[in-house]
């Protein structure tokens, strides 16, 4: 049967619609009952699909944990850096505070002196030479001269033996070449305090008849015109009276801890203050 040309397109469309509805109807009727082959496929695919899902979830969780840990590590790195900066600042503040306390003690010492003084920092210690010396950061440009006494808040440090424009070398009280006129505060007995190196100092020329006791304080006598009278030199740590000889053997522990000196005062004697 021939279909007029003008009805061909609607006819084709109608046929296709009927076929589609038939396929859908057949498929719907097949959903009610799953075939054996389909069941086998589902039975095999289900565990595999579950395993794949578990694997993918594990990978996803691992990736999330990795990203989280990377973020935590970055944060820890920033925190460690910030903590290091804060510790450095705290250390600087602590050093500044401790330096301020030491300088305050030096200023208190300065207030008790009538002489002109110059504050200086210890910039080096001579640990190799036979001489016990330190180097300070003040020299002739600051008024330093050979022979000037040097003090700390603890007591007498020594005297200047060499100068440059901006540095001076100080012979310490414990050096064997150091000799300072001293006296025992309690008895007023006078002698010469000589350095004995690592052993400290010895107070010489004190008569055997003088009463000298461990713990007695030794001060500068002020006779030689270098150190003012009454500055602290040390404390007597040992006394020995030998059968022979006129004098006692007296050991003295210096008042100053020379290994920890950081700031000192150079004392300008009155006789030279105006020069």
**In contact, 269 and 115? CB cutoff 8 Å:** yes
Highest mean pLDDT among 90-99, 191-200, 219-228: 191-200
The angle at the Cα of 265, spanning 264 to 268, to the nearest 5 degrees, equals 150
Q: Pairing between strand 249-254 and 133-136?
A: unpaired
Whether 179-255 and 113-173+262-272 are alike in CATH topology: the answer is yes
Provide the residue ranges of all domains of the chain, joining segments of one domain with +. 37-112, 113-173+262-272, 179-255
Of 175 and 114, which is predicted with more confidence? 175
For residue 249, the cross-strand partners are 240
pLDDT of residue 87: 74
SS3 100: helix
**In contact, 256 and 122? CB cutoff 8 Å:** no
Q: What is the mean pLDDT of the chain?
A: 80
Q: How confident is the model at residue 29 (pLDDT cuts 50, 70, 90)?
A: low
pLDDT(160) > 90: yes
Backbone angles phi, psi at 121, to 5 degrees: -105, 145
- Percent of the chain whose predicted confidence (pLDDT) is above 90: 40
pLDDT of residue 55: 74
pTM of the model: 0.64
SS3 10: helix
Which residues in 137-248 belong to E strands, given as ranges?
149-151, 156-163, 168-172, 179-184, 190-195, 201-204, 217-220, 232-240
Which of 124, 116, 126, 127 shows the shortest CA–CA distance to 149?
116
Q: What is the mean pLDDT of residues 264-271?
A: 81
pLDDT(6) > 60: no
CATH architecture of 113-173+262-272: Beta Barrel (2.40)
Q: What is the mean pLDDT of residues 5-23?
A: 59
Q: Which two tokens stand for residue 112?
A: 């008790």
Question: Over the stretch 48-102, which tens digit does the pLDDT of each residue have?
Answer: 666 677 777 777 777 877 777 777 877 788 887 777 777 777 777 676 666 666 6
Residues whose CB falls within 8 Å of the CB of residue 219, separated by 6 or more in sequence, listed in order:
182, 183, 185, 229, 230, 231, 232, 233
- What does the longest C-alpha to C-alpha distance in the chain come to? 160
pLDDT of residue 275: 42
Range in 13-27, 139-153, 192-206 with the lowest mean pLDDT: 13-27
Q: Pairing between strand 249-254 and 201-204?
A: antiparallel
pLDDT(168) > 80: yes
pLDDT of residue 190: 95
- Percent of the chain whose predicted confidence (pLDDT) is above 70: 70
Of 203 and 132, which is predicted with more confidence? 203
Q: How confident is the model at residue 210 (pLDDT cuts 50, 70, 90)?
A: very high
Pick the CATH number of 179-255 from 2.60.34.10, 3.40.30.10, 2.40.10.350, 2.120.10.30: 2.40.10.350
Highest mean pLDDT among 9-23, 50-64, 254-268: 254-268
């Amino acid at each position: 049967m021939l279909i007029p040309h003008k009805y061909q397109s609607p006819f084709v469309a109608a046929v296709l619609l009927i076929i589609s509805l038939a396929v859908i109807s057949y498929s719907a009727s097949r959903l009610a009952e799953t075939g054996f082959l389909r069941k086998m496929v589902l039975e095999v695919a289900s565990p595999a699909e579950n395993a794949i899902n578990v694997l993918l979830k594990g990978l996803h969780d691992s990736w999330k944990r990795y990203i989280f840990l990377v973020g935590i590590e970055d944060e820890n790195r920033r925190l460690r850096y910030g903590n290091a900066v804060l510790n450095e600042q705290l250390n600087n503040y602590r050093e500044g505070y401790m330096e301020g306390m030491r300088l305050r003690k030096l200023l208190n010492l300065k207030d008790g002196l009538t002489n002109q003084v110059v504050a200086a920092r210890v910039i080096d210690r001579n640990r190799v030479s036979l001489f016990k010396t330190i180097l300070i950061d003040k020299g002739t440009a600051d008024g330093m001269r050979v022979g000037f006494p040097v003090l700390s808040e603890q007591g007498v440090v020594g005297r200047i033996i060499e100068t440059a424009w901006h540095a001076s070398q100080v012979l310490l009280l414990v050096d064997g070449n150091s000799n300072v006129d001293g006296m025992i505060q309690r008895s007023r007995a006078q002698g010469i305090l000589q350095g004995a190196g690592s052993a400290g100092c010895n107070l010489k020329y004190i008569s055997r008849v003088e009463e000298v006791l461990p713990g007695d304080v030794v001060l500068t006598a002020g006779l030689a015109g270098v150190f003012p009278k009454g500055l602290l030199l040390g404390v007597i740590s040992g006394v020995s009276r030998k059968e022979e000889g006129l004098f006692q053997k007296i050991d003295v522990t210096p008042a100053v801890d020379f290994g920890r000196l950081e700031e000192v005062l150079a004392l300008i004697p009155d006789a030279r203050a105006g020069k």
